[in-house]
A and B are shown apart, each in its own frame.
Chain A
Amino acid sequence: MIKIGIILLENERSKSYIQKIIHNKIILNDIILLSNNSIIKKYTSKQKILSFQNGFQIDESVEKTLRNNKLNFKKFNFSEINHPKLIKYLINLDSKYFIFSGGGILKTEILNIGKKFLHLHPGIVPYFRGSTCFYYSILKNNDCGVTAFIMDESLDTGNIVLKKTFSKPNHEFIDEIYDAHIRSETLIDVLKNNLLDKENFQKQDNSIGETYFIIHPVLKHIAILNCLD
């Protein structure tokens, strides 16, 4: 079995990743938490209920989940994925793959340490590359998708591990809950089916597709109102 690690942050995405990994009894080789002790986010009761219905507890911090489940982890007091201390630490670990859950764009230095980074991108590539793709996908295709791929130096162009399509949500908490939910469901499929062991990845055709930029609030509202319709 190939050794896999995860780099977590105190965000919704990481919460859903680690809680579903634990729930599915998936064993990781290395767990790293990047936490700069930023202000703890408050959630409404509706958000708490919805996240629970989507398989994770949004109001439980990543650190609490790790401690409650007696998992060993290394904590750094910063949240930058390219931090030299993190790079130095990763080099000496046995894991070949690390699950990425945010913290910036990977720069050349970290990409060249001999480790591979798995990203769960909320869009079906090559048609939905870039930012806030789930909103564009709702407006264009009336559904959403996630692509698991191995990160490279360009934006959303890495080799594809798995693509998965989801029905659009029926609530407005797309950034906080739906995004974390669909990414974590795809991650669990990758891990449960040992897709990283098989390394049967699909190369992307970088000559086609579309790269989107962060969505304007007017288009975002139309997409959410379409979901609530």
Chain B
Amino acid sequence: MIEYKYNQGDLLHNPQKYTFTEFENWDFLDAYKKSRNISLTYSDISLDLFQNLFKFLIPNINTNFILNDEIETEKYLKIILIEIFQKNFLNYNHIDIFVKKFELTKKLFKKYDKKFISKSENYSDLINYILLSFICLLSYKQEKNLKYLNTALKLNDTLTNQISKNHKYLIPLAYLVKIELNFIDELIKEKICNYD
């Protein structure tokens, strides 16, 4: 029985590099799925995963999200999400900046300057990782570009590592993981014939 090791350890401070990862056959995919089993006591994970997660993350859409010279990551990511849900517009130029930021450092800082250089020491706000994961999953849903599913998997490794039972973000994490697992199952069925 193998163990899924990519969401273990303190990933915020000692991130995974994912280089030359070992091939462990179907056992690995089974271990991965088990590791994504969120021990959720709530039964209210609705079938409309995307819409409900959006409502959970941005309950009041009329909140004033004015941008200033300093980029506040949470605010910025919420604007990207609102654009997706209100205008069906995915601003890939902006999404890709955050994808690259996360992929290179595995960190999302609280604030950036106009050139997207970090202006804060704080990279522990899990809401930023949740928002980017959701944006990546929505981007994958729209374009089927594996780059976004790849980043979502890594973000969700960090989130499943950091969010435990009774955490305030357990519900959004449960949504993210459910969406991610649906996409992975779809991909397995599409790409591997002998899947049962």
Binds B, one of A112-120, A186-194, A212-220: A212-220
- Chain A residue, CB-CB nearest to B28: A221
**Contact between chains at B192 and A229 (CB < 8 Å):** yes
Contact of B21 among A140, A212, A220 (CB under 8 A): A220
A136 beta carbon closer than 8 Å to chain B: yes
Residues in B with CB closer than 8 Å to A210 are 145, 147
- Is A216's CB under 8 angstroms from B18's CB? yes
Evaluate contact between B194 and A219: CB separation under 8 angstroms: no
**Closest chain A residue to B157, Cβ basis:** A216
**Stretch from B55-63, B68-76, B78-86, B148-156 at the A interface:** B148-156
Which residues of B in the span 115-162 have a Cβ within 8 Å of any Cβ on A?
145-147, 149-151, 153-154, 157
Which of B32, B99, B191 is A218 in contact with, Cβ under 8 Å? B32
Whether the Cβ atoms of A229 and B150 lie closer than 8 Å is: no
- Contacting residues of chain B (1-28) with chain A, CB-CB under 8 angstroms: 6, 17-26, 28
- Contact B28 A226, beta carbon cutoff 8 Å: no
Give the total of A residues in contact with B, Cβ under 8 Å.
23
Chain A residues near B150 (CB, 8 Å)? 212-213, 215-216, 219
A7 to chain B, nearest CB (A): 21
* In the bound complex, CA of A218 to CA of B192 (Å): 13
Q: Nearest CB to that of B5 among chain A residues?
A: A217
Judged by a CB distance under 8 angstroms, whether A225 is at the interface is yes
B191 touches A216 (CB 8 A): no
Q: How far is the CA of A213 from the CA of B151 in the complex (A)?
A: 8
Q: Once the chains are docked, how many angstroms separate the CA of A225 from the CA of B6?
A: 19
Q: Which residues of B contact A218 (CB under 8 A)?
A: 28-29, 32, 153, 184
Contact of B23 among A212, A214, A224, A226 (CB under 8 A): A224
A218–B26 CA distance with the chains assembled, in angstroms: 10
Minimum CB–CB distance from A95 to chain B (whole Å) comes to 31
Is A222 in the interface zone, CB < 8 Å from B?
Answer: yes
Tell me the nearest residue of chain B to A138, going by C-beta. Answer: B191
List, in ascending order, chain B residues with CB within 8 A of A213's CB. Answer: 99-100, 103-104, 147, 150-151
A220 with B191, Cβ < 8 A, contacts A136-B146, A213-B150 known: no
Q: How far apart sit A172 and B184, CA to CA, in the bound complex (Å)?
A: 20
A87 interface residue per 8 A CB criterion = no
Residue A31 is within 8 A (CB to CB) of chain B in the complex: no
Choice from A172, A211, A219, A226 contacting B146 with Cβ under 8 Å: A219
A67 to B147, alpha carbons, bound, how many Å? 43
A139 and B146 contact, Cβ closer than 8 Å, known pairs A216-B18, A229-B192, A229-B194 = yes
| Interface pair B23/A221, CB less than 8 Å apart | yes
Q: Which of A140, A172, A212, A222 contacts B192 (CB 8 A)?
A: A222
Given contacts A213-B147, A216-B18, contact A221 B153 (CB under 8 A): no
B193 within 8 A of A: yes
Q: How far is the CB of A155 from chain B (nearest CB, A)?
A: 11
Q: Does B47 contact A (CB under 8 A)?
A: no
Contact, CB under 8 Å: B184 / A214: no
Contacts of A175 in B (CB 8 A): 20
11 more A-B contacts (CB under 8 A) besides A218-B184, A222-B192?
A139-B146, A210-B145, A210-B147, A211-B147, A213-B99, A216-B153, A217-B32, A218-B28, A221-B25, A222-B184, A229-B194
Residues on A lying within 8 angstroms of B by beta carbon are: 136, 139-140, 172, 175, 210-226, 229
